[in-house]
Amino acid sequence: MIKLILIGANGKMGQAIATAVKNNANEFSIVAGVSSSDVKFDFPTYKSIEEIIEKADAVIDFTRPKAIYSVLPYCKEKKIPYIIGTTGFSEEDKRFIDTYANSVPIFISGNMSLGVNLQLQLVKSAAATLGVGFEPEIVEKHHHLKVDAPSGTALMLADAISSKYPEGKKYTYGRYTKTERRKQSELGIHSVRGGTIVGEHEVYFIGTDEILEINHKAYSKQVFALGGLRAAKFMVSMQAGLYSMQDIVLENEVLSNLYVTDEQALIEISNLNDTKNGICHVFLALSNASVFVDMISQAGLGRVSLTVRNKQLYEALNALSSLKNTHKDMKIVEYDDITKLTVEGVGMEMRHGIAAQVFEVLNHAGIEPLIVTTSETKIAVGIISEFVPIAVNAIAENLDL
């Protein structure tokens, strides 16, 4: 049973969370709340969090930014996590949150809907895959009482999309009074207000003769309340630090694939005496010989390791030997029975320590990587081929692949 302190118990989101807790009474309970009104609840309420005497596992808050100034010191003292569903933080507020992240587990999200946060991941993937050939536009719809436009969620979606373009995107908020064609650098954001719409976010990737839509609709505040409870459940075992809904979305997808590329050869080149241009000379020579290079790792000035297809090793060595007139001290060591083992997962972008886990597993299995390359979502290691079955089994068993 997870025991919660509810900030803003009398607010609309506070009431939604209280309802969600009642519907999930086997997992959650509210042991105390903070309320500005005298309304009676099924749990004791106080005017400030400092007055609370009940013990709790986490604090959940969907109120105002200023609440952090009393709740964070309380959470630090009680050693419990803080789940924040509030938006509108100033830069000063964000700095205050950052100062406590080293001592308090803090979960913060501008939108607690699990569906919206999955939408964020999907639009990032779409932007990366579709590229500049498709033009992104966002339409967000909310009730007539909402005072800000565009919504915080629309901006989160825009930032997620923009992050996948080398030069980002320039946000265009509506096109009233504009008398020019749409620029490729634009990302249009449009707001609709009316009635009782809880929240709708439509993302369009518009190409030639086709459109991809990635949409999300919320029909009640229970969506956000349930997301808040999911966050509380996620956070009760976490160490100090900043977390978000993306950590939950990617919780089971940190690592998703493990695959091998056989028949590789590794070439280690050292003592390039012209360190300024030496590595350039290496790759020009290989390119001129039509050798395909896969993994590349630079281990300092005048040194570089790379892999090529095993069947092209002879051509690669011949091409490199032509450099010895320029680089008289150059040394070349080759291994002709290498396999590239790749661990991949979109969640690696959001979770630290994955590389450490991979290398720890290989170390315990007695396997030393000969070359390593990484990206935000991949770790690739080159190892002697005879050790591949051991490495694959060890990684699959220890990292749930």
- Give the residue carrying structure tokens 């919504």: 151
**Residue 171's pLDDT is what?**
96
Domain 114-218 classified CATH 3.30.360.10? yes
Helix 278-288 × helix 313-321 angle, to 10°? 130
User: Token pair of 400, please?
Assistant: 């749930």
- pLDDT value for 25: 92
Residue with token string 């320590």: 353
**Residue 39 pLDDT > 90:** no
Domain boundaries, the chain: 2-108+223-249, 114-218, 257-398
Class of the CATH domain delimited by 2-108+223-249: alpha beta
Residue closest to 393 by CA, chosen among 320, 348, 341, 346: 341
Catalytic residue among 124, 142, 164, 201: 142
DSSP string for residues in 140-201: EEE-TT---SS-HHHHHHHHHHHTTSTT--EEEE--TT--SPPPTTEEEEEEEE-TT--EEE
Average pLDDT over residues 325-329: 85
Is 327 a catalytic site residue?
Answer: no
Between the CA atoms of 61, 66, 67 and 73, what dihedral angle is there, to the nearest 10 degrees? Answer: 130
- Specify which residues 267 forms β-bridges with: 306, 334
Name the one residue in this structure whose structure tokens are 């079955």.
Answer: 389
Q: What is the dihedral of CA 240, 241, 246, 252, to 10 degrees?
A: -40
Mean pLDDT of the chain: 91
Residue 333 — φ and ψ, nearest 5°? -125, 130
CB atoms within 10 A of CB 386: 9
pLDDT in tens, 139-190: 999 999 988 889 889 999 999 999 999 899 999 998 888 889 999 999 999 9
Domains 2-108+223-249 and 257-398 share a fold: no
What pLDDT score was predicted for residue 385?
A: 93
> Which residue among the candidates 76, 146, 217, 233 is catalytic per the annotation?
146
**Residue 328 annotated among the catalytic residues of the structure:** no
Asked if 71 contacts 93 with a C-beta cutoff of 8 angstroms, the reply is no
Bridge partners, residue 212, by sequence: 205
Report the CATH number of the 257-398 domain: 3.30.2130.10
* Residue 251 pLDDT: 64
Averaged pLDDT for residues 120-135: 93
State pLDDT tens for residues 239-268.
Answer: 899 998 878 876 656 666 888 999 999 999
User: With 70 as the cut, is the pLDDT of residue 210 above it?
Assistant: yes
